[in-house]
Amino acid sequence: MVVHKGRKVVNKGSKVSDKEAVKDAEIEDLDVEVSDQDLESEDLDVEDSDQDLESEDLDVEVSDQDLKSEDLDVEVSDQDSESEEDEGDAKPNAPPQKAVYDRAGLLDKLGDVSWPENVEWLHKLTLNFSQEKEVDVNDDLNRELAFYTQALDSTREAFMKFESMDMPFLRPSDYYAEMVKSDNHMEKVRGRLLAEKRRIEEAEERRKARENKKMSKDIQAQKLRERAKEKKNEIESVKKWRKQRQQSGFAGNGKDTDIGLSFEDGNTFERSNKKRPGVHPGDRSGGKARQGAGKGKPGADKKRKGRDFKESKYGFGGRKGMKKQNTAETTNDMRDFSKSFSKNKKRKT
Amino acid sequence: MKKVGKKRKHAETIPEPKKELVAEERPKRTLLGWKDKPVVNENEAVAPTFRNKEKVLITSSRRINYRYRHLMLNLVSLLPHCKKDSKVESKATKGATLNELVELRSCSSCLFFECRKHKDLYLWMTKSPSGPSIKFLVNAVHTMEELKLTGNHLNGSRPLLSFTTNFDKDAHWKLIKEMITQIFGTPKDHRKQKPYYDHVFVFSIVDGHIWFRNYQISCPHTGADKIDRGGLEKMTLIEVGPRFCLNPIKIFGGSFGGPTLYENPLYISPNQIRALEKKKKSGKFAQKVKAKTRRRMHEMSNPLEQDEFADMWKD
C-alpha cells in the first residue's frame, strides 16, 4: 500500500514538473515525493510517517542517535522492498547495509595486545562497576550523577583493596608537589566560586528586603488592630464596673470596687515601661528620663546621675522645651524633701 | 625486556640456568671468599616478570581547533607516560608518517587528534607497530580550563580506571577496554609517576558512546593511612576535567590502517548530519511552489459550480 502511494505521488509530481517545465526533472521528482509524503502522511501507516520524520530531521544531538538509528534500520529494510519495485530512489544517507564485525579478528587482536593474565591488579588499577539501570543520555543531571556514583563506588572498592594490601595510598597533608592545574588557575576558580556565592547572597538579601516590605504593612495593621482591641477592652471594663456599682447601689465607697476589676491591678493606667521607638531620649513622653523616673527602683537614683541622663536633660537630642516643667511624676516625687523634718514631726505627735 | 623483580636467594633453581651462563666465567668473589649462592630471578622460572613500559605518543593534525588542542594538552598533563609531538599534516599518507614517528619516538601506542573542517574531532587510538587501531569521533568536549570544574590533583599520580560492566559484553568493547587500560593507565613505577592515588578516570558506555570523566578524590583522613568506614562514607569527588565522549567508528587490524575488524552500524558522520540539516532547510521555497501548483491543478480539475445568485445585485 505504501509503495503504491509513493508511486502515484511520483507520477503526479512528474506531471506537475512537466507542466511547470522546471529544469531538473529528477531532483524535482525526489523533492516532490518527499514533500507530498509529508503532506499525505496521515493516510500512510504510522511506521511510515515515523520514517519521514526520521529522514527529515536528523538531529545533531548525539544522544538521540541510538533511537534514530534503530529507526533508520527499519527504514533501510523498507527501502529495499521499495527499490525492487520502484527502481531505487534510495536516500543518500542510509548507513552501510552490513557493518563489518570480525569477531574472531577482534579477539585475536585482543589476545595479541593484552597483558598476561596473571598481571597484578596494581599494574592495571581497573575497576568494574555494574550499572543497574539504564541512564538517559539527555538527562544531564542524572547522567552526571550516574558517572559520579560509578566513580565513588569504584574508588571505595579500590581503597578497600589498597588498605588490605597495606600500602600507603592517601596523600599526607604535608606532601606538596606539582598539581595538574596551576595555582594561578585555581585562584581563578576560587574567585569564581566566591563571586557566585556573593551573587546568591545578594539576591537572597534583596528577596528578604522585598518580603519585609510586604510584611511591614501587615505588622502595622496588626498593631493598629491590637490597639483598637485594647481600647475596647478598657471601655468594656469601665462599663462593667459602672454597672456593678449601680447594682450595689453605690454602697461601697471605694473598698467594694476593688473586686474583680481587671484595671484595678494597676497595670491599666500605668504607662508601659517600654521605650517607644522614634522618641528622643529627652522626651517626657517616652525618653530616657521618663524611663528612669517611671521605674522608681532604688537603682534609678544612681542611674540619673549617669552621663546618659545628663545628656538627655541638658544637651543631646530630644525636645528641648517643657523639660523643666512639672509633670505628674515630678509632683509626686517627694525624694527631694528632707526626711528629718517629717521624722521630727512624728516624734512630737 | 629488562627483568626487575625481588631478588632473592634461591637454592632450588641453581642448576639449569647457571650452567650456560657461569660455566666460562669466574664465579664472583666476595671479601671472604667465593660467592657460592647465585642470584636468580625468582619469577623467571615461573613467568617473566611483567613490566609495563607503555609510552604514548600524543599529537594532532594541522589546523586543529584551539578547544581541541586544549583537550589534547589536558591529556598530555594527565598522562605522565606520554610524549607530545608536533602537528602532523592530515592527508592520505598520514598513517605511514605517524607510524614512523611513533617508532622514532620509541613509543608503543599513539593518540592522534585529527581535526577536520575546524569542527569535527576524530581520535585515533593506536597500538604500534602491529595494531590494532581504533577511530573515534569525539563530541561533548569540555577542557580542564573551564572554571566550573573545580577539582585539582597531583600531576602524575596514577589514576584509578573505572569501567562499566558493559565493556565486557562484546568483543570490540573488550578490545577497546584493553586499549584504554593500557593507554590511560600510568605504568607502575614510571619515573614521572607520583605516589598516592588521588584521582579516578571514569569510562562509561552510555548509548553506545564512551563517556570520560576525571574526578579528584577528596577523603577526610588523619594523616595515617587507615581510613575507617566513616572516612569511606564521607569521601567526596570533585570533578577535575576534561570531559569528552567517544563514539567508536571503526577498528582496524593494523596501526593506522589494515583490515577493518569492526564498523559501527549506528555511526552517522557529522558531515551527513549537517547535509541533512541543510537540505531540510533548503526545501522551503520549492515546497511553496509545489503547493501552489498543486492547488491550481486541484482548482482546475474540480471547478466550482456556477453561482446562480452571482449577478443578483448587479443591476
What integer pLDDT is reported at residue A319 of this predicted model? Answer: 62
At A187 the pLDDT is 95
- pLDDT of B175 above 60: yes
pLDDT band of A97, cuts 50, 70, 90: low
Instruction: Tell me the per-residue pLDDT of A190-222, one tens digit each, with 9 for 90 and over.
Output: 999 999 999 999 999 999 999 988 889 889 999
Q: For residue B7, is pLDDT > 70? A: no
Contact indicator for B213, B160 with CB cutoff of 8 Å: no
Percent of chain B with pLDDT over 90: 65
Q: Does any CB of chain A come closer than 8 Å to the CB of residue B276?
A: yes
Q: Phi/psi of residue A315, each to 5°?
A: -140, -100
pLDDT at A141: 93
Q: What's the pLDDT at A280? A: 62
Q: Which of A129, A155, A168 sits opposite B235 (nearest CB)?
A: A155
Instruction: Write down the pLDDT at residue A249.
Output: 77
Where does the pLDDT of residue A321 fall: very low under 50, low under 70, confident under 90, or very high at 90 and above? low
pLDDT number for residue A82: 37
Cβ distance B261 to A109 less than 8 Å, yes or no, reads yes
Q: Nearest CB to B273: which of A58, A63, A179?
A: A58
Residue whose C-alpha is closest to residue A66's, from B140, B277, B209, B172: B209
pLDDT digits (tens, 9 = 90+) for B60-73: 999 999 999 999 99
Residue A35 has pLDDT above 70, yes or no: no
The pLDDT of residue A54 is 44
For residue B160, what is its C-alpha cell? 584509578
**CA nearest B158 in A: which residue?**
A125
Phi, then psi, of A235 in degrees rounded to 5 = -60, -40
User: Could you give the CA distance from residue A159 to residue B225 in angstroms, rounded to a whole number?
Assistant: 10
Closest by Cβ to B276, choosing from A58, A112, A160:
A58
Q: Is the pLDDT of residue B303 over 90?
A: no
- Dump pLDDT digits (tens) for B233-280: 888 999 998 999 999 999 999 999 999 999 999 999 999 999 999 988
What is the amino acid identity at position B195? Answer: P
Is A113 in contact with B175 (Cβ distance < 8 A)? Answer: yes
The answer, yes or no, to whether residue B160 has pLDDT greater than 60, is yes
Asked if B175 and B182 touch (Cβ cutoff 8 Å), the reply is no
- The strand pair at B243-254 and B257-263 is best described as antiparallel
- Among candidate residues A163, A158, A171, A179, the one with its CA nearest the CA of residue B223: A171
Asked if residue A161 has pLDDT above 50, the reply is yes
Q: How far is Cα A224 from Cα B284, in angstroms, rounded to an integer?
A: 69
pLDDT tens digits along B88-111: 998 888 999 999 999 999 999 999
Residues whose CB is less than 8 angstroms from the CB of residue B178 and which lie 6 or more positions away in sequence, other chains included: A110, A113, A114
Average pLDDT over residues B157-176: 94
User: CB-based contact (8 Å) between B142 and chain A?
Assistant: no
Q: What is the mean pLDDT of residues A12-37?
A: 42
A294-302 mean pLDDT: 49
Q: How confident is the model at residue A265 (pLDDT cuts 50, 70, 90)?
A: low
Q: Which of A255-264, A270-279, B19-28, B175-184 has the lowest mean pLDDT?
A: A255-264
Selected residue with higher pLDDT from A334 and B46:
A334
Q: What is the pLDDT of residue B23?
A: 58
Q: Which chain A residue's Cα is nearest to B53?
A: A123
Mean pLDDT, range A54-61, rounded to an integer: 43
Whether A26 shows a pLDDT value over 70: the answer reads no
Interface contact A94, partner B, CB < 8 A: no
Residue A287: DSSP 8-state = S
Q: Please report the pLDDT score of residue B162 as a whole number.
A: 95
Provide the shortest C-alpha distance from residue B175 to chain A (in Å): 5
Helix (H) or strand (E) holding A27: helix A25-40
CB of B103 within 8 Å of a chain A CB? The answer is: no
- Cβ within 8 Å, pair B273-A122: no
**Is the peptide bond between B242 and the residue preceding it cis, with omega within 30 degrees of 0?**
yes
Mean pLDDT of chain B: 86
Q: Is the pLDDT of residue A90 over 70?
A: no
Q: Do A147 and B204 touch (CB under 8 A)?
A: yes
- Chain B residues whose beta carbon lies within 8 Å of the beta carbon of residue A97: none
Mean pLDDT of chain A, nearest integer = 69
Is residue A261 within 8 A of residue A267, CB to CB? The reply is no
C-alpha cell at B32: 671472604
Give me the residues of B, 119-138, that contact A with CB < 8 A.
127, 130-132
According to the model, what pLDDT value does residue B314 have?
75
Mark yes or no for CB contact B266/A95 under 8 Å: yes
What is the CB neighbour count within 10 angstroms for residue B141? 17
